[in-house]
Structure formats: structure tokens, C-alpha cells
Amino acid sequence: MVNLSPCILAVATLLSAVPLTAQAGDGHDHDGLFAKAALDRLEWTSSKGVATLHWEGEASLGGDEDKAVLLSRGTMAEDGDFDSAEVQVLWSHAISDFFDVRTGVRGDLAPDPERTAWVFGISGLAPYWIETSASLFVGTRGDVGVRLEADTDLALTTRLILQPSLELNATSKDDRQRESYGGLTSLEGGLRLRYEVTPTVAPYVGVSWERALGETNGRGDSHRHDDETTSLLAGLKLMF
């Protein structure tokens, strides 16, 4: 059995990291340090009558140039089992006004078996206000993975925001226990329409699409995932 306590703790940390320092400066710069957190996605998806819960968030503590970053993401199935649960602990360093380089460690707590990898990446704001992230994962099995992410906010009104997103994943080696095979493994897209009730609370609805690629396509275990899935979703974005 996978010990999911660290994953649950990571999500709780995302929600509690900021209030601990907000007392000192109400979220603003204080003695060179500031803290912030965002639960970018806490959403329920439905596809072919099957519902899942997905979360994705980030918390950071540090200064303008260097900070510690905690990332957490995962998916819980309708029966309460975790399809995926990932935590990253990173050190982030600004290399320009718009981009940071990041390095640290990633732990995949689900599905079985657990995996650990070193992380090297870059994230920031590309032209046309596109949030981008490129991550390289070097695993303890000698495998190398790549994840590319991009999303942007399109303001329809001062409160109504449309957010398209895209994610591409690849790996260098087969991982038969996790039904992942060398090469491009998956492509995910999403379109979310959110309403910012306040600057920190924004419910949203949308649609997501995921497709297995390369050798992974057509070789998945049907009880875990389909090779192509389109889902309706509803969620909440929280910013601190």
C-alpha cells in the first residue's frame, strides 16, 4: 500500500503556508521574505458517468530572487483511491524579471509503485502573457521525463476569465508497472471559464481532454484510464 499521508500533508500545507506569515506583513514583503499560496485547481470531473477529484497547487516562501517552492498535484478516483499523487519540493532562482529556474526533488506517491526523481526546470511568463513551465525529471531508475505546460488568462470582463491550457508529457524508458512507455506519453488540454467573486476566490466550469500518445496509446489498462478522455468539470480556484 502507498502511504498517502505525505500527499495529504502537502495539500494541507498549501492551504496553511500563507496565514503563518500573513500576520507579519499581511502577505506583503517583510524583512526580505514573503509567502504566497494558490490552489489553482480543485475540481470535480465527470466522463462516461465516472467522477474524479483533481487538485493542483503551489506554495512558496522567500524573496524576489530565491524562494522555496512546494508543488502538489493529483487525482482521486470515485472509490477513494488515488490514481496519481505527486509532490515536488524545489528551490527557485530568478534569472530575469519573468523567468525562474527551479531544482529539487519529486515524489510520486501514487499509483504503486512509488517513484522519486530529481527535478530541473524553468517557469515564467512568456510573450503574450502565456504562463509556461518546462520540467526535466531524472529518476532513480535511470529514466528521464519531460513535462511542458502552458496556459493563459483571457479577460472577457473584469471578473470573467477564460483560461485555455495545454500539457505534454514524455519519458525515455518504459514503465510497465505504470502503463507508460518510452517516447511521448500524453497530451492534455483544457478550457476553463472562471468568475472571480473576490481576488482570492474564483469558481469555474469547463472541459478537459486527454489522450495517450505513442506506445502508451492502446496499451493502457482499461480499468485505470482510457486512451482518450473528454470530461466536463467544475471547480474552485483559491489564491492567498
Question: Which tens digit of pLDDT belongs to each residue from 48-105?
Answer: 888 999 999 999 999 999 999 999 999 999 888 999 999 999 999 999 999 999 999 9
Q: Which of 67-81, 132-146, 147-161, 214-228 is least confident? A: 214-228
Q: Which of 231, 55, 13, 38 lies closest to 131 in space, CA to CA?
A: 38
The answer on pLDDT for 224 being more than 70 is: no
Q: Quote the pTM value.
A: 0.84
Q: In this structure, how many other beta carbons lie within 10 angstroms of the beta carbon of residue 67?
A: 20
Ranges assigned E (strand) in 130-177: 130-139, 144-152, 154-155, 160-171
188 pLDDT above the threshold of 80: yes
Q: In whole angstroms, what is the distance from residue 17 CA to residue 27 CA?
A: 11
Q: What is the pLDDT of residue 5?
A: 47
**Cell (9 digits) for 4:** 498517502
Higher pLDDT, 201 or 27: 201
Rounded mean pLDDT of 112-136? 96
User: For residues 230 and 101, what is the distance between their CA atoms, to the nearest angstrom?
Assistant: 33
d(CA 206, CA 233): 5
Average pLDDT over the chain reads 87
Question: What digits encode the pLDDT tens for the residues 136-150?
Answer: 999 998 999 999 999
